[in-house]
Amino acid sequence: MAKVSANYEVVYIIDPMLSEEDTAALVAKFKTLAEQNGSAVEVEEWGKRKLAYEINDRTEGYYVLMNFTSAPAFPKELDRVLRITDGIMRSLIVCKGE
């Protein structure tokens, strides 16, 4: 049976009140997690941007885009980890197909 994999895109927003070191550590953490569970990992840091609406009294967030290829089980786990990680304000994972 062939291992099924698909391309995914995740955008997550980091609390802008975190230090540069903490922000870099979070980006590295999720990149490493994606590399351990998938392949073709690309990370694009968009930096601080104004939010469309306030989240936790913040009007800005540090945006990060990550693309990767993995089996369908990993994005569910990634979503769970993003939700429970302090400093992550919002995240969205989208499947871009095969």
Q: What is the CATH number of the domain that holds 56?
A: 3.30.70.60
Domain count, the chain: 1
Look at residue 10 and tell me if it is in a domain: no
* Residue of higher predicted confidence among 15 and 4: 15
- Containing structural domain, residue 32: 19-61+69-97
| The three-state (H, E, C) secondary structure of the chain, written as one string | CCCCCEEEEEEEEECCCCCHHHHHHHHHHHHHHHHHHEEEEEEEEEEEEEEEEEECCEEEEEEEEEEEEECCHHHHHHHHHHHHCCCEEEEEEEEEEC
pLDDT value of residue 5: 84
Tens of pLDDT, residues 30-81: 999 999 999 999 999 999 999 999 999 999 999 999 999 999 899 999 999 9
Look at residue 82 and tell me if it is in a domain: yes
